[in-house]
Structure 1
Amino acid sequence: MPVWREHNHFTLLPESASFLPAMFEAFAQAERYILVELYLMESGRLADQVIEALVSAARRGVTVCLLLDGFGSMGLATHDRKRLQDGGVALRFFNPLGWHSLTRNLSRDHRKIVVVDGRAAFVGGFGAVDAFLDAWYEIAVRAEGPVVADWETLFRRLWASRFTRGECTRPAPRLPHAAVSESGGSMRGRVMMGRGYRYQAIRLSLQFRVDNAQRRLWLCTPYFVPTLSLRRRLKRAARRGVDVRLLLPGGHNDHLSVRYASQRFYAAMLKAGVRIYEFQPSFIHAKFVLADDWSSIGSCNFDHWNLHWNMEANQEVDDAHFAAEVNALFERNFAVSDEVDARAWAARPWYQRAREWLFGRLDGLLTRLK
C-alpha cells in the first residue's frame, strides 16, 4: 500500500467554477513544467482554453507534457493536436486502439492529474470537454506538500512506459528534476492508484474504510454498479448502525442504461437501511467518499468495470477539518436531491422493473468479459 504523507494542505474545489480558474491560474504562474494527464479531451470551448493556456506556457519556456488516453481523446480534432505540437507541447497517448487483443483495448487510462512545478497537484474526475462547463457537476482537490511528489511519480512512470505513444514532430522533452513541495500544511494524505485487476489499492482501501466506519459512510458515484463484495459491505455497515448514504445521478445522465442497471440494487440497499439520493440539478459526474474523518476524491467510480480495467487515481485525506468541508459539500448536494422512498420504490411500475432487469442482464454480460 502507498504510504501516508504528513504536512500537506488540501483545498476542496467544488464545481468547474472553482477548479477550472484555479488550474488556469496555476498554468499561468508555472515557471518550470506542467504535467497533464486526462482521459477525456475533445475539441470545443474548454479544449480551446486548455490548449491556449498550455501553448502560452510552452512559448515562455515552460516544459509542458500532455498525456491523453488513446480512446478518451478520439474527439480531439487533428487541427487541435497540431496546435499543441506546433505550440511546443509534448503530446503522448496511452494505449491507442489497435488490432491487438480485446482486453488490451479495454484497458484505459482514466486518471485525471495535473502537476505544476512539483509544487501543486490537481486531482479529480475532470476532463477537457464542454460538458464540464455547464452540464456536468464535478469536483477536484488541490494538493500542496509531500504528496505532490507522489503524483508526479505516477505521471512520469506512465509517460515513459511502453504503453504510451508520441505524436510529436520533435522528441519529447526531458523533464526537469522534480521540485520539492513544502506547503507547511498540517493535513495527512496519500496518493492511491488502481490499475485494473493487477493493482487494486483503491478498492482495498475503500473496503477497509467501509468495514471500519463508525459514524458515517457517504459515497458519491455517477455509475453505481459495484462489486458484490462492496454491496455486501455497504449493507453490513448500515445494519450495524452506520449512517450509509449514496449520492447518485437522477434523470440527468450520460448513460441511462447504467442508471437502470444500478437501480436493480436499490431495493436490497434500502431494505438494509442505506439511504439513496438522486441528484436533480444536472448530471453528477463527481466521485468522492467520506467515511468518518477519511475522504477519497479522484477518478475512480467504484464500479466493477473501473476497478477491473482502468487505471485510476484518488487523493485520500485523513483530516477532521477537510472532512467537515466534504461533509458540508455532501449536505448541499443532498438538499438538491430526491431521496428514494423505500415504500414508493417497492411499488414502482412494471416497466421500471423491466428496464432494471434488461440492463442488469446486459451489465452481467459485460461483467463476464473479465
Structure 2
Amino acid sequence: MDGMWRDGNHFALLPEAARFLPAMFEAVEGARRSVLVELYLMESGRLASALIEALCQAAARGVTVMLLLDGYGAMGLSGEDRRRLEAGGVALRWFNPLGLHSLARNLTRDHRKLVVVDGEVAFTGGFGAVDAFLEAWYEVAMRIEGPVVADWMRLFSSLWDSPMSRGPGEAHLVHALAVTPRRRDDYRGMRGRVVWGQGYRYQAIRHSLQRRVLAARQRIWICTPYFVPTLGLRRRLARAARRGVEVCLLLPGDSHDHPGIRYAGQRFYGRLLRAGVRIYEFQPSFLHAKITLADDWVSLGSCNFDHWSLQWNLEANQEVDDPRLAAEVAELFRRNLEASREIDPAAWARRPRLQRLREWLYGTLDGLLTRLR
C-alpha cells in the first residue's frame, strides 16, 4: 500500500548503532505523552534490558507506553523481562503468536521497526533489541519529523488493535493517542511518504522500487542483507545497467547470520554481472542495513529483497525524494563500498564447484519456499 507524499518533513540519516541508539534513547527519555515501539526482534540481553528500563521509567512518569512485538521474532525475550514490562506499566501486545492454524498464517510476521515519541518524532530502519546490534551487525536508521509521523502512528495503530495482535495491553489505547506532528517549514522541500506491504497481496514496496528502477537515469544503488530478488526485479536491474544506469549492489560478505540465503542469492550474480551490474560484498561485519538510492529517491526501512519480506512479512519503509538526503546516502554508500570487496565477473565465472553446488542447493530450497503460499 502507498502512503501520500507529504512536504515539510525533516529526515536525518543515522548510520551505525553508536548514532541511532543514543538518539532513540534520548527521545524516549524526553517523552511527555506517548512512546510507541514496534519490533520484530527482541531478545533478553544488554540492549533489551536498557530498553525495558527506559520504557518503564517513561511509564512511571505518566507517559503512555505501548510495545508491540512479533510473536515469533521476540520469542527470545525471557518470562522475567516480560513480567518487568507489565509490572512497569508498559502496555504489551504480541502480533500473531505461533499456533495450530495454517502454515501461511504462522509464516506471516510483523517485520517492521518503529519508535514514535509524542507523535512528533519517529525512527525506523532495520534495528531490533538484540545485542548483535550493539557491535556485531552494521545497521542504519533514520530520524523523522514532520507530517509523515502521523502516517507512522496510523500504521502502528492499525496493527495494535488488529485481531492478530494479542496480549495484556488494551487494544483501545491507540484511540486516545494525539497525532499532532508539526510541519517543518525550514525543510519545506523534504518530501516523504510511508510505504508498506502486508504479505503476498500488498507488495507496494516492491512495486514502488520497480517503478523507480524503470525511471532511473543515473544510479540505482541497493544495500540489503538478504538478496533473493524476484525475476521481474532482476530483469529490470539488468535492463537499467544495459541502458547506462549505474547499478550497484552492496551485499553481505562471509559474515552472515543466514548463509543459505546468501548462497541462494549468489546464483543470480552471473547474469547480473554480465549485464553490467556491479556487486560488492561488505567485509567488516554482517551488513544488516536496508537502503535503496535511485537518482535522488531514497527508501529506508525494514524490507529485505527476499521472499520472506515480499511474500509473507508486514514491512514498512520511509521514502524520501530530496537531493540533500540523497547526497548524504550516496556518501554513506561510497564509504561502505571502500570497505567491501567487488565481485570480479571473470573470477566469478571460474568459481569452485562447491560454491556452485551450494547455490543450486539453497536456490532449490528457495524455489520450494515460494510455492508454500
Task: Please confirm whether the aligned pair reaches a TM-score higher than 0.5, indicating the same fold.
Answer: yes
Q: How far apart, in 2, do the equivalents of 1:159 and 1:260 lie?
A: 36
CA contact (8 A) 1:119 1:182 kept: no
Q: Which residue of 2 aligns with 1:46?
A: 47
1:321 and 2:324 correspond: yes
- Please state whether the residue corresponding to 2:178 is helix, strand or coil: coil
Distance 1:204 1:84, change over 3 A: same
Question: 1:178 deviation in Å?
Answer: 1.8
Q: Give me the whole-angstrom Cα distance separating, in 2, the residues matched to 1:9 and 1:201.
A: 23
Deviation for aligned residue 1:172: 6.8
Equivalent position of 1:72 in the other structure: 73
Partner SS, residue 180 of structure 1: coil
Q: Which residue of 1 aligns with 2:57?
A: 56
How many Å separate the matches in 2 of 1:42 and 1:336?
29
- 2:257 corresponds in structure 1 to 254
- Equivalent positions of 1:48-197 (< 5 A) are 48-168=49-169, 173=173, 175-184=176-185, 185-186=187-188, 187-197=190-200
Which residue identity lines up with residue 68 of structure 1 in the other structure?
L
Q: Kindly state the Cα deviation for residue 160 of structure 1 after the two structures are TM-superposed.
A: 1.0
For the residues of structure 2 that align with 1:263 and 1:180, how far apart are their CA atoms? Answer: 43
Establish whether residue 286 from structure 1 lines up as the match of residue 289 from structure 2: yes
Give distance in 1, aligned partners of 2:308 and 2:342: 26
SS in 2 for 1:214: coil
AA partner of residue 310 (structure 2): L
Q: Please, which of 167, 177, 201 is the counterpart of residue 198 of structure 1? A: 201
2:270 maps to which of 267, 282, 291: 267
Aligned 8 A contact 2:31 2:58 in 1 = yes
Q: Distance in 1 between matches of 2:65 and 2:42?
A: 16
The CA RMSD measured in Å over matched residues stands at: 1.1
Partner residue, 1:17: 18
- The whole-number CA distance in structure 1 between the counterparts of 2:237 and 2:312 is 23
Q: Which amino acid aligns with 2:213?
A: V
Change (3 A) 1:4 1:171: closer
Q: Residues 91-136 of structure 1, C-alpha deviation per residue, up to 9 Å, x if partnerless?
A: 0000000001111000000000111001001010000000000111
- Answer whether contact 1:305 1:367 (CA < 8 A) is retained: no
Deviations 1:48-67 (A, max 9, x none): 01000000000011000000
Q: Percent identity?
A: 67
For residues 245-278 of structure 1, give each alpha carbon's deviation from its aligned partner in whole angstroms, at most 9, with x where no partner exists: 0000001000011111111011011000000000
Structure 2 gap ranges (5+):
none
Please give the secondary structure, in 1, of the residue aligned with 2:7: strand
The 8 Å contact of residues 32 and 63 in structure 2, kept in 1 or not, is answered as yes
SS in 2 for 1:199: coil
Count of residue correspondences: 369
1:30-41 aligned at under 5 Å gives the runs: 30-41=31-42
Alpha carbons 1:8, 1:147 under 8 Å: kept? yes
Whether 1:343 and 2:346 are equivalent positions in the alignment is yes
The letter for the 2-side match of 1:340 is: I
Are the aligned partners of 2:31 and 2:118 in contact in 1 as well (CA < 8 Å)?
yes
1:58-81 deviation digits (Å, cap 9, x = unpaired):
001100000000000100000000
Counterpart check, 1:225 vs 2:228: yes
Cα separation, 1, equivalents of 2:54 and 2:232: 43
**Pair 1:333 & 2:333 matched:** no
Query: What CA distance in whole angstroms lies between the structure 1 residues aligned with 2:151 and 2:171?
Result: 25
Q: Where do 5+ consecutive residues of structure 1 fail to align?
A: none
Contact 2:40 2:70 in 1 (8 A): yes
Structure 2: how far apart are the matches of 1:222 and 1:171?
Answer: 34
Q: 1:167: how far off?
A: 3.1
SS at structure 1 position matched to 2:77? coil
Q: 1:359 aligned to 2:341?
A: no
| In 1: Cα distance, 2:45 partner to 2:252 partner | 25
Are the aligned partners of 1:90 and 1:172 in contact in 2 as well (CA < 8 Å)? no
1:177 is displaced (CA, Å) by: 2.3
TM-score by length of 1: 0.98
1:7 is paired with a residue whose SS is: coil
Distance 1:161 1:353, change over 3 A: same
Give the 3-state SS of the residue equivalent to 1:6 in structure 2.
coil
Is the Cα contact below 8 Å between 2:160 and 2:171 reproduced in 1? Answer: no
What secondary structure sits across from 1:73 in the alignment?
Answer: coil
In 2, distance between residues paired with 1:133 and 1:172?
A: 34
Aligned residue in 2 for 1:243: 246
Q: How far does the alpha carbon of each residue in 1:300-330 deviate from its partner, in whole angstroms, 9 at most, with x for none?
A: 0022321110000000000000000000010
Q: Given residue 144 of structure 1, which amino acid in structure 2 is its aligned partner? A: E
Amino acid at match of 2:79: T
